[in-house]
Amino acid sequence: MSASLAVEIPYWGQSLLRVLGGIVAVLLPAGTVVYVFLFKMMSFMQSRLGPMEAGPYGTLQLVAEVGKWLQKEDTAPERADHRIFKMAPLIVLVSTFLLVAAVPFGPDAWLTNFKTGVFYALAVSSISVLGILVAGWASANKYSLLGGLRAAGQLIAYELPLVLGTLGVVIQAGSMNLQDIVVAQNAGAIFGWDGLGNPYILTQFIGFFVFMVAVQAELTQPPFDMPIAESELVSGYMTEYSGFRFLMFFIAEFATVGVFSLIASILFLGGWGVPFAWFGWETLDDVDNWMNVGGPLILFTKMMVLSFLVMWVRFSFPRFREDQLQRFAWKVLIPLGLANIVVTAILKVAV
């Protein structure tokens, strides 16, 4: 597929580009999601203006916020388990970086092209649980401990719907490679009409629902924000963190919103691709080189749409209680996901 590259980039150059691309792919969605949704959309929903002073329409507010957090003292409670306390935000952030490594942004613009990309993404996404649990325990704070325990219960319970939601897509595409899933959607056709490709949201809408709800819970966004629950647990597992360690948690939270939206748009909305029929492409090798630039932009747009969904729900709903959350996972999402897989499998074999 790199045969069509106009300029042959040496291996070290490609590696450097991929590392930088990974950092950009984490920080850019995080920044955009925070500014566009957390600052501005939330404010408009709540009939206020949001940040207006720093830069035009408050666009530089993010810089100011980051500056503020960097200036703050890095404190730790006296009785905390210091080494682990300091490590915890890193673990959470690392999980986000590992997650973005699996995301393909274009025909050649991928960071690592795993054969089992879906499996890998689901596996590394649960590393953040470890960081959160450790943060809750090491803080030597009762609120943090409760938050950490809640997070552990919740994130482990919602791994299963997350997997079940993706399985339908994997069955339909016949591959666990995210690149293959993108191609399968864009080269596909709806009853012979290929003007729109075949984005899996049309056939896997139940899977999409299950996946998005599970993502909402994995991200600990309201209505599933019990681990943070600022009116009950002050700030849950983050209570004792300040300065740049808090910033790391914060970046991880919103970068993961972005990255999960990226993965969801790859699984269900056709990822970086446009319907191949528009340009007469057949397979991945036919895709023009400009898609390495256009693809990320298309993917970014789809990511913003899905992040908007996540944030919209976040600002609208009150919070569940943990037992209600568990009941919702085991009694609604998991049966739905299983039924979806059964139906998909039957149709896959039959058709």
Partner 1 sequence: MTDLLSQREQLAYIAAQAADARLNVELETEGMTLNIGPQHPATHGTLRIVVRLDGEQVVWAEPVCGYMHRGYEKLTEVRTYPQITTLINRIDWLGSFANEVPFILAAEKLMEIEAPPRAQWIRTILFELARIANIVLFLGDLGVQLGAVTPTFFAFRDREHVLNLIEGATGGRFHPNFDRIGGLKDDLPKGWVDECRLVMKKIRGFCDEIEDLLIGNEIFQERTRGVGIIPREVALQYGLSGANLRASGVDWDLRRDQQLPMAWDKVDWKVWTHPDGDSFARCWVRLQETREATKIVDQLLDGLPSGPIMAKVPRIIKVPEGEAWVSTENPLGEMGYYIVSRGDLGPFRVKIRSASFNNISVLPWVLRGVYVPDVIAILASLYFILGDIDR
- Applying CB under 8 A, the residues found at the interface with partner 1 are 42, 45-48, 142-143, 146, 222-223, 225-226, 229-234, 315-324
**Nearer Cβ to partner 1, position 81 or 232?**
232
Helices 142-173 and 334-350: crossing angle in degrees, nearest 10, is: 10
Q: Minimal distance in Å, beta carbon 196 to partner 1?
A: 34
* C-alpha atoms less than 13 angstroms from C-alpha of 129 in its C-beta half-sphere: 18
Q: Minimal distance in Å, beta carbon 231 to partner 1?
A: 5
State how far the Cα of 220 lies from the Cα of 289, in Å rounded to an integer: 38
Q: Minimal distance in Å, beta carbon 143 to partner 1?
A: 8
**Nearer Cβ to partner 1, position 57 or 315?**
315
**Nearer Cβ to partner 1, position 101 or 146?**
146
Q: Minimal distance in Å, beta carbon 280 to partner 1?
A: 48
Q: Minimal distance in Å, beta carbon 264 to partner 1?
A: 23
**Nearer Cβ to partner 1, position 72 or 142?**
142
**Nearer Cβ to partner 1, position 54 or 149?**
149
Q: Minimal distance in Å, beta carbon 43 to partner 1?
A: 9
Q: Minimal distance in Å, beta carbon 303 to partner 1?
A: 24
Q: Minimal distance in Å, beta carbon 229 to partner 1?
A: 7
**Nearer Cβ to partner 1, position 207 or 223?**
223
**Nearer Cβ to partner 1, position 44 or 279?**
44
First to last CA, the chain: 31
Tokens encoding 8: 């042959």
**Nearer Cβ to partner 1, position 39 or 143?**
143
Which whole-number Å values give the CA distances from 320 to 143, 152, 223, 235, 312, in the listed order?
Answer: 18, 16, 6, 16, 16
